[in-house]
Amino acid sequence: MNYRNIIVVAVLTVLTVWPSVTTGRNRIYNDNVKTLQAVVNGQWQKPAVMRLGSGDELEVSFDELSHNYHRYVCHIERCEADWSASEGLFESDWLEGFNDLPIEDYENSLNTTVLYTHYRMALPNDRCRLKMSGNYRLHIIDEEADDEVACVEIRVAESKAAVGLSMTTNTDIDFNQSHQQLQMTVRLGSLRVTDVEGQLWTVVTQNGREDTQRINMTPTAIQQDRLQWEHCRDLIFEAGNVYHKYEVLDVSHPTMGIDRIRWDGTYYQVFPFANGPRRSYTYDESANGGFLIRNSENTEVERTCDYVFVNFKMMCPEPYGNADIVVDGAWATEEPERYVMWYDGSDGSYNARILQKQGYYSYQYVVREADGTTRLMPEEGSFFETQNRYQAYVYYKGVSDRSWRLVGFHEIGK
């Protein structure tokens, strides 16, 4: 079967309709596929980055909303630093073993009102191992339907460059107000760099968000074996506010962040407490958009957690005109319009109803302009005290190299 044609169609669809709001780089293309996850070593709050040659294990999982078996295969595609497909390599350059792996680990849901089958696969495994650092896209394909249903983007890093990150609220545009500024250093070690712009590719993200990521910032100082970014305005981020959160542990009664739960005859309807404008900062532990599937029993959660409709409400006196308000988190991986809220003039609120699996979720509200650009909803507030996570990725391409390698990665924050 020619999986490349299937993948090209899916990628073109994404480029045409997918905005850059979503936190994660995971994508779902099929309405019956839900709860797509890519987690390294069980660390669900961290980005999906594996260390080359280590014992790190990636688990990719998702649900299909039926008890009917689907023959899914995973096709691995190597990508460049900008996530374009690698053209100058043979598959044997970066892959040891076989591609197009069948996903054979699956189980039906148990005692749930919504039927589903949970699928999972792990990398590396006895059939396949990645042997080059860099970016990889994992395409999940329904072989019988000849259709790509989801994809996951991961990174494999090697420790060739030492990356340092620090954050200050004394920024070049304000002091202890609404922004945070990063300082970054990259020690090149044995890497030979004669052309910084042509051989290094840098990416910095806040909480893994694509819509605010910074790419290829110009260094403020270049030494023989070290690059520095100090007082770099490209590394000033809006601080934002603590993410909202809720937890659905038991459908019979409300738990953290939940106002009420009711059964409508077909589905459980869950209502988190309504959110409103936040004029000040109050510390609250949050996963910065992350999510974790679990329930009160906390056993066999992948097959015993039910699906419920979560009803979000954000109070806002006036609508935003042509702009959309979007509920956003790492879990927001489906077709973008599913997360767009509608305005209810009767009580002055934006609302959304989203099908989610039981568990812990953190989220925020984002404004999406008509041109596709995004920004935090002003009602959320932006405060220098906010506990954000920052990630820095450094890619390298030697003079004779045919592809970009990920030679350094570092994350800071809580």
pLDDT in tens, the chain (414 residues): 666 565 655 554 444 444 444 344 799 999 999 999 999 999 999 999 999 999 999 999 999 999 999 999 999 999 999 999 999 899 999 999 999 999 999 999 999 999 999 999 999 999 999 999 999 999 999 999 999 999 999 999 999 999 999 999 999 999 999 999 999 999 999 999 999 999 999 999 999 999 999 999 999 999 989 999 999 999 999 999 999 999 999 999 999 999 999 999 999 999 999 999 999 999 999 999 999 999 999 999 999 999 999 999 999 999 998 999 999 999 999 999 999 999 999 999 999 999 999 999 999 999 999 998 999 999 999 999 999 999 999 999 999 999 999 999 999 998
CB of 71 closer than 8 Å to CB of 118:
no
Asked if residue 19 and residue 151 are part of one domain, the reply reads yes
Distance CA 64, CA 119 (A): 8
Give the residue from 376, 55, 80, 41 showing the smallest Cα distance to 238.
376
Can you list the positions of beta strands (E) in 92-225?
95-97, 101-102, 105-108, 117-123, 128-130, 134-142, 147-157, 162-168, 179-187, 200-206, 214-215, 221-222
Asked if residue 256 and residue 290 are part of one domain, the reply reads yes
C-alpha distances (whole Å) from 50 to each of 97, 100, 127, 133, 405 are 18, 20, 18, 9, 13
CB of 225 closer than 8 Å to CB of 187:
yes
Q: What's the predicted TM-score (pTM) here?
A: 0.93
Asked if residue 180 and residue 140 are part of one domain, the reply reads no
Q: What is the CATH number of the domain that holds 75?
A: 2.60.40
Asked if residue 135 and residue 9 are part of one domain, the reply reads yes
Query: What integer pLDDT is reported at residue 19 of this predicted model?
Result: 45
Asked if residue 103 and residue 199 are part of one domain, the reply reads no
End residue of a domain, out of 138, 157, 176: 157
CB of 179 closer than 8 Å to CB of 173:
yes
Largest Cα span, the chain: 68
Distance CA 167, CA 388 (A): 10
Asked if residue 189 and residue 291 are part of one domain, the reply reads no
- How many domains, the chain? 3
End residue of a domain, out of 157, 188, 219: 157
Distance CA 307, CA 269 (A): 10
Which helix H or strand E contains 11, and what residues bound it? helix 3-17
The boundaries of the domain holding residue 219 are: 162-239+387-412
End residue of a domain, out of 157, 186, 217: 157
Task: Determine how β-strand 200-206 pairs with β-strand 390-396.
Answer: antiparallel
Asked if residue 299 and residue 185 are part of one domain, the reply reads no
Asked if residue 58 and residue 88 are part of one domain, the reply reads yes
